[in-house]
Each structure stands twice: as structure tokens, then as C-alpha cells.
Amino acid sequence: MRESGEPVRFHIGRAMVGGEEPVIIAGPCSIENPEMILETARTIRKVLVDELGLRNVIIRGGAWKPRTSPYSFQGHGVKALEWLREAGDKTGLPVMTEVMDPRDVSVAAEYVDAIWVGARNMQNTPLLRELARAGKPVFLKRHFGATINEWLCSAEYLLAGGLEEVALIERGTRCINEYARFSLDITVVPIIRKLSRLPIVVDVSHPAGRRDLVPWLARAALAAGAHGLMIEVHPEPEKALSDSKQQLSFSEFAETMRMLRGMRLL
């Protein structure tokens, strides 16, 4: 296993992943049109960079969406990547997206600074191999039914393929809590910090499934020692084409970030 050795740290643009200061990966669930991704990126920049003085900021947005129903919005694909790249260039922030299909890896790598593997594709080994070949930094989400060791073995596919810039994202488990979308097991954070040299980020939006829980999960994740947060933000969450219940509005996002700063977690 290549999982032993010095802790992994890497830069994505100006953002440092795995360092002392947490990274904030924020943006909409799906990139719905060019205006909304630019407006969201500008707001994130204003709050995190201009107001709070953070450097470790990455814009997220889905171009290919893993939807339960084939009749739900599936994402705008490569067009969305163009809009995302433009939003990144205009704000000076690095951008990342999810890739599900190994055939989309090379086109995605032309547009984005990093790629995340969604929960449902954690064990999509042809995808992991292709990502290792592409050489872009990869954030690997844990599947909601996968064990920690299965997750770390999937990360090994990336490391064994020669990729050094790999981080993990915890995003909750399918469980007994019917008041949240998934159960967020915060013990994963210190366990990964002990077991693995890879940075551990917590996605606080997907386990919550509802906006009111997001700030609480964010403070818990950072207090537990996470190297960063992934958090969904949308200009008009109630009108979002995916995950409308859990995305934060701009004002909710700003309040959450100020609260974390007030608690010295950011």
C-alpha cells in the first residue's frame, strides 16, 4: 500500500489542500447556466477571499449529474464546463467538477483544475484508472455504503496509477436517521487522519439534505479536524434543478462562514 509516508499536501491554483488552514469547496450542485455559476463564484469570492481573507477556496459545480431518476435533470455536460471555467477565470479561483464516465475524463481535464469522484462511483475502477492517467488532482468521495477500508482501497487505485494529488471526501452513510438525508459519522475524520496520509474533507450538504443542518455539520466537521468542507450554494436554492432542499442561499452561506470564523474554525 502506498498509503504510508508523509501527509499529502498539494496546491490547486492558490488553494492549499491538506495544510493547516481548511479548504472550502463551494458552489452549486449543478451548473444550470453561465450566469448562475458566475454569480455564485463571485459571491463565494467576496465572502471568503475579500471579507474573510481566505486563500484556500475552490469553486465546485456539477456538469454530469448522478441522478436517481433518468427523468431528472442530468446536467449540461461540456457546455457547463465552459461556463465553470469562465467563472473560475473571472474570479481567479480554481474550479472542480464531478466525472462519472471514464470517456469524459480527458475533456473535463481540459477545463477544470481538479475532479471529484461522486459517492456512486467510488468503486468505478475504470474511472479511477483513467483519472490517475489524466493527472489532475482527485477528491474521492466515500460511497454511502462503503467501509473505510474499501474507500482507502479505491484511493489506492489512484495512487497506484501514479497520481500523488489525492484527497478524500466523507459525505455520510445511508442509515437510521430519517430526519437527515444520510448520517454523518464524524469519527471518520480522526480515523482517516490516523490511518491515511491523504487530506480528509467533509461534504456537509449531502448528509444534511436540508439547509438548516448544514451550519451545524460544518462546525462539527472542522472541530473534528477536517482539512476542509464541501458545501453547496445556489443563488435561488428553492428553484435549483437538483438538491434544492440542501443548498444554501448566498446570505445563509455568508452567515455560516462568518459563524465558523467567529468560532476560530476558519
Interface with ligand PEP (CB under 6 A)? 29, 62, 66, 118-120, 141, 171, 203, 206
CB 169 within 8 A of CB 199: no
User: Closer to ligand PEP at the Cβ: 130 or 203?
Assistant: 203
Q: Mutual orientation of helices 34-44 and 78-91 as an angle, nearest 10°? A: 30
User: Closer to ligand PEP at the Cβ: 93 or 96?
Assistant: 96
Instruction: For residue 162, give every residue at least 6 positions away whose Cβ sits within 8 Å of its Cβ, in sequence order, or none.
Output: 132
Q: Smallest gap, in angstroms, from Cβ of residue 186 to ligand PEP?
A: 16
Residue with the shortest CB distance to Mn ion:
29
User: Closer to ligand PEP at the Cβ: 64 or 157?
Assistant: 64
User: Closer to Mn ion at the Cβ: 16 or 169?
Assistant: 169
User: Closer to Mn ion at the Cβ: 177 or 244?
Assistant: 244
* List of long-range contacts for 34-39, beta carbons under 8 Å, 24+ apart: 34/83, 34/86, 34/87, 36/234, 36/235, 37/61, 37/80, 37/83, 37/84, 37/87, 38/83, 38/86, 38/87, 38/90, 38/91, 39/235
Stretch of 32-40, 138-146, 193-201, 238-246 contacting Mn ion, by CB under 5 A: 238-246
Q: What sign does the CA torsion over 219, 264, 166, 231 have?
A: positive
| 170 counts as binding Mn ion under rule CB under 5 A | no
Q: Of 91, 243, 248, 250, which lies in the binding site for Mn ion, with binding defined by CB under 5 A? A: 243
| 29 counts as binding Mn ion under rule CB under 5 A | yes
- Residues paired with residue 9 on neighbouring β-strands, in sequence order: none
Cell of 244: 434544492
Stretch of 21-29, 51-59, 84-92, 176-184 contacting Mn ion, by CB under 5 A: 21-29
Q: Smallest gap, in angstroms, from Cβ of residue 233 to ligand PEP?
A: 12
| 230 counts as binding Mn ion under rule CB under 5 A | no
CB 121 within 8 A of CB 127: yes
Q: Which of Mn ion, ligand PEP, none lies near 94, with the C-beta cut-off 5 to 8 A by kind? A: none
Rounded to whole angstroms, the Cα distance separating 46 from 187 reads 33
Q: Smallest gap, in angstroms, from Cβ of residue 50 to ligand PEP?
A: 26
CB 7 within 8 A of CB 18: yes
Q: Which of ligand PEP, Mn ion, none lies near 118, with the C-beta cut-off 5 to 8 A by kind? A: ligand PEP
Pairing of strands 114-117, 95-98: parallel
Cell of 40: 455564485
Q: Which of ligand PEP, Mn ion, none lies near 31, with the C-beta cut-off 5 to 8 A by kind? A: none
Residues forming contacts to Mn ion in the complex (CB under 5 A) are 29, 243
